[in-house]
Amino acid sequence: MKKIFILLFIMLLAFSGCAMFKGSKASEEAAQPRQEALNQAFYGFPDIPVPKELTYVPEHSFIYENPSMRAGVMFFNGNVEMQSLENYFKINMAKNGWRYINSFRYKDVVLNYQKEDKTCNIKMSRGAFQTEVEIWVGPAEKTTPQKGNALK
């Protein structure tokens, strides 16, 4: 009987020790960006995926929030091929409910997306040693059909 009590006590200590380490790790993970899938993270906006190969640049980024909306600019950089990055955003933005509007290609690539009440513009530039990405998120203009005279 004494051996069973000692064995249960040791098991209790082992399990409570594991739980203690899990608790400290959970608080560290709360400070990190939310991870959804193998190759993406979310910074500030839960519906805008960013590949893990890009590094968030907080000193150039900002997010404005009030009770009715959230807007901001996020900057990232990393050694990622432009075409791969463009394909990533085209696939994953659609998976998160964004509707592709258009794109511009010149030295840089700009992708424009829209949702019910907000817009997202993603600008990708290739620098000397790395790719730089700017993600702009803001409210969309709410348009209402105008009543006018019909052509006769």
Query: Is the predicted pLDDT of residue 137 greater than 80, yes or no?
Result: yes
Which pTM does this prediction carry? Answer: 0.68
Share of the chain above pLDDT 70, in %: 68
Label residues 101-121 b or e (16+ Cβ within 10 Å = b).
eeeeeeeebbbbbeeeebbbb
Higher-scoring residue by pLDDT: 79, 128: 79
pLDDT above 90 for 144: no
d(CA 84, CA 63): 27
Q: Which residues contact 17 (CB under 8 A, 6 or more apart)?
A: none
Distance between CA atoms of residues 90 and 9, nearest Å = 55
| Residue 103: per-residue pLDDT | 95
User: What pLDDT band is residue 10 in, cutting at 50, 70 and 90?
Assistant: low
Res 68: pLDDT? 87
How far is residue 95 from each of residues 47, 49, 91, measured CA to CA in Å? 9, 9, 7
Q: Which residue is it, tokens 């949702």?
A: 115
The identity of residue 67, as a single letter, is P
CA–CA distance from 51 to each of 35, 60, 61, 70, 147 (Å)? 10, 18, 17, 21, 45
